[in-house]
Amino acid sequence: MLDVTPIDEGWILRHDGAALPATVPGCVHTDLLAAGIIPDPFLGRNETDVAWVGRRDWTYETTLAPIPGGHEQTDLVFDGLDTAAEIRLDGQLLGSVRNMHRSHRFDITGLSGRLSVNFRSAYGEAEAVRGRLGERPNAYPEPFQYLRKMACSFGWDWGPTLVTAGIWKRVRLEHWSTARIARVRPIVTVEQGVGRVELHVDVERSRVEAGLTLGARIGGVRAEATVDGTGGVVRLEVPDVDLWWPRGYGEQPLYDVELWLSHEGLLDIWRRRIGFRSVELDRGSDEHGSGFTFVVNGEPIFARGVNWIPDDVFPSRITRERYRTRLTQAADAGVDLVRVWGGGLYESEHFYDVCDELGLLVWQDFPFACAAYPEEQPLRGEVEAEARENVVRLMPHPSLVLWNGNNENLWGFRDWGWEQRLAGNSWGEGYYLGLLPRVVAELDPTRPYTPGSPWSGSWDRHPNDPAHGTHHSWEVWNREDYADYRLHVPRFVAEFGWQAPPAYATLRRALPDEELAPDSPGMLHHQKADDGNGKLFRGLARHFPVPEQGFTEGDFDRWHYLTQVNQARAVAAGIEHWRSHWPVCAGTIVWQLNDCWPVTSWAAIDGDGREKPLYHELKRLYADRLLTLQPRGEGLVLAVINQAAEPWSGRLALRRMSVEGDVLAAADVEFAAGGRAVADVRVPKELEPVGAKEFLVADANTAGNGGGDGGGSVLRALHFPVPDREIPYPRPQFDVSAGPGGRVTVTAHTLVRDLLLQADRLAPSASADRGLVTLLPGEQVTIGVRGWEALDQLDAETARSALYCVEPAR
């Protein structure tokens, strides 16, 4: 039987002649940080002070004791090395590696002694490859496309430049005899209630002559097969299987699969969990263009998605518990699809396990982003090897529904001046339109593949054509007002977003000694986007009265609150519009769910794991049922969006109101939306608000309509016809009371727009259970505060100090 010995103790890191204790899995930065050699690069401007780390070569060492007999072969297995390294044992070179995204295995039978892993600087490796293959353009100044390493290690417009090295995944010895299971490729299908599993097995032998048998079981179903040479196939049929569904569409049953290899006894075992479901990508043409709709178990789905970046710039620090926390936050916000973005990683097995359990669909990019990638050696062989390994590794997960060739590289070739600069040199097209689809078709034929995002399906069209395939909507953030989201109805919006700073407590931790201002040194250092603060300011100025000279130190709290409001408003403008056009638009993937350090960014959850107002707004925007008032033609339409399976019908209460709180006109209107459908209700002309002092309120009671809305709740849509800077708001007046257990109740006496309790201002550990809420005169809301030891001492005056809302122009 195969035996495994972890090698996670006794490692050292060589630094200037000293031997520092090293953690494996880990990386150079975290070991230097633990030893007190470098300051925390997440704090202040320390990132620049530790830039030297990425320019150095590093060596990890440990000792392997002599290995007792009893097995014919011993392998040294690295699940992940970051990135370019030579591995030596007792002075003997075992091999050289150059790919963070692969595992590596070495036969060390009969060997022992000093094990060293000598890492070359990623800069040195990348620059050497660039010197051999020639310059290629990219969107950032760092040479990340010349080696197979997490691209965002080299910095991004939301991430720090912290180019690390290290043994970032597990290391172990595997002792075995006769044969071992080298690879299992499960093909899982379902038809008419019968689940079929084909386990394609590769074996490695130490004894060629031995007769080998494969066996497998799923529940009470068993099957066997013989090994022919170095491979075999075991086929199982499971009757009456329960289908795996995305969250909101059904349950997520998972089945344990066990496979074993035998020869006069048990040699090796492979175990995984699978789910039975079908997935298709409907790219059919229609009068609107060509679509991009996920169809799971025959059910077309509007994807409520978020983009995922590595949750830490040092991914060895991301634990199973952290994955579960972050992905549970996504699910709790109504998300049903997570796109693993191409500047990051093939994530840990823990990530996909949690997605399987929560019903989160996974769109997996291959790790290529925002650059022209050479297709010559040594990169081409590494790309194929990593693709083959990771496609097979992730195949068992029912949550995985799409392989995507790259992020924005096809678009970049067409629009970013690459074609002229490349002058005929390779740039990655052969990967995205040749190598990768071939690998997926060969190894994982049950899942769809798309060459890139965005991609319109053909070079005959612009790669980012909103009428065809996937679309990235970045003109709005970069140059336009977010109201312009309403100008287009893309078939699938795979990226769009708006920036805001992180939570106040996150800023205070990251910039502990700084007088905070939008343009203070630390704030600017933790703003990586090109002209990011300028875009934030211009985005605010289109909607709110802002000081002509900009926000000063004394205005920081107001700037911080308004930028977070504007982020939530911007994303809401896009999602409400696009969801109202289902099934023409079949999904939105917000950029982005998470951050990898404390930074002003597009994230809904900041680098310390705190939920920004956008996160709570996603709960409303991604709920099964949503009301939205949309300008259409010469008037207003109330779109009744019903993604629940059950029909939704009832009466809408429409009120045209003044900002002083008077009801100027009112009507009840009937509505009926079928299951998974949208119904448009035309707003009567006399109810349309006119001028700066009026707005429209639409309420629908959800009682008795199913869909998990908790009968009796009221869904509301608001429409203000002009930007806030033109609205003569009354000065907000409201009462605040604090009850036991951290319950804060606010009662409005005037219109209170976008009330927000920033609980982390009360204590860094505190959080609120809801985000922005608008109250009409006489209305009341109770906000729960949690995570603070002193909750029972929370009084009304203290609670009021953390409450913010939109105020009239000064």
User: Over the stretch 680-717, which tens digit does the pLDDT of each residue have?
Assistant: 999 999 999 999 999 999 999 865 444 333 345 789 99
Looking at the chain, the whole-number percentage of residues with pLDDT higher than 70 is 98
pLDDT at 707: 38
Residue with tokens 């009026």: 694
pLDDT given at position 703: 59
3-class DSSP state of 584: coil
- Give how far Cα 223 sits from Cα of 187, 258, 266, 363, Å: 15, 11, 16, 32
Please, which residues have CB within 8 angstroms of residue 410's CB and are 6 or more apart in sequence? Answer: 429, 432, 451, 452, 454, 455, 463
The per-residue pLDDT for range 371-380, each reduced to its tens digit, is 999 999 999 9
**Is the pLDDT at 553 greater than 80, yes or no?**
no
Alpha-carbon Rg of the chain, whole angstroms? Answer: 28
* Tens-place pLDDT, residues 74-119: 999 999 999 999 999 999 999 999 999 999 999 999 999 999 999 9
Q: How far apart are CA 49 and CA 30, in angstroms?
A: 15
Q: Which two tokens stand for residue 718?
A: 């608001």
CA distances from 442 to 228, 280, 449 (A): 20, 17, 12
How far is Cα 415 from Cα 411, in angstroms, rounded to an integer?
A: 6
Closest CA to 803 of 743, 765, 751, 762: 762
Q: How far is CA 117 from CA 52, 64, 91, 94, 167, in A?
A: 20, 13, 11, 10, 8
Give which of 529, 474, 480 is closest to 497, Cα–Cα.
Answer: 474
Token duo for residue 567:
């982020």
**CA-CA distance, 360 to 362, in Å (whole number)?**
6
SS3 626: strand
16: exposed, middle or buried (C-beta count within 10 Å: 0-12, 13-18, 19+)? exposed
Tokens of 215: 């066996």
Is residue 656 within 8 Å of 689, Cβ to Cβ? yes
Question: 548 falls in which pLDDT band (50, 70, 90)?
Answer: confident
Cα dist from 225 to 206, 210, 272, 422, 558, whole Å: 20, 15, 19, 52, 69
Q: Which two tokens stand for residue 668?
A: 């009840």
Would you say 492 and 303 are in contact if contact means Cβ atoms under 8 Å apart? Answer: yes
- Which of these, 336, 341, 333, 339, lies nearest to 304 by C-alpha position? 336
Query: What's the pLDDT at 706?
Result: 40
State the average pLDDT over residues 356-370: 98
- The SS3 of residue 129 is helix
Q: What is the pLDDT of residues 272-298, one digit of tens each?
A: 999 999 999 999 999 999 999 999 999
The catalytic residues are 408
Would you state the pLDDT for residue 67?
A: 83
Give CA–CA dist 374/430, Å, rounded. Answer: 10
Residue ranges of domains in the chain, CATH in brackets: 3-174 (2.60.120.260), 178-274 (2.60.40.10), 282-621 (3.20.20.80), 625-726 (2.60.40.10), 734-804 (2.60.40)
For the stretch 624-677, pLDDT in tens is 999 999 999 889 999 999 999 999 999 999 999 999 999 999 999 999 999 999
- Give backbone dihedrals phi and psi of 320, rounded to 5 degrees, phi first: -55, -40
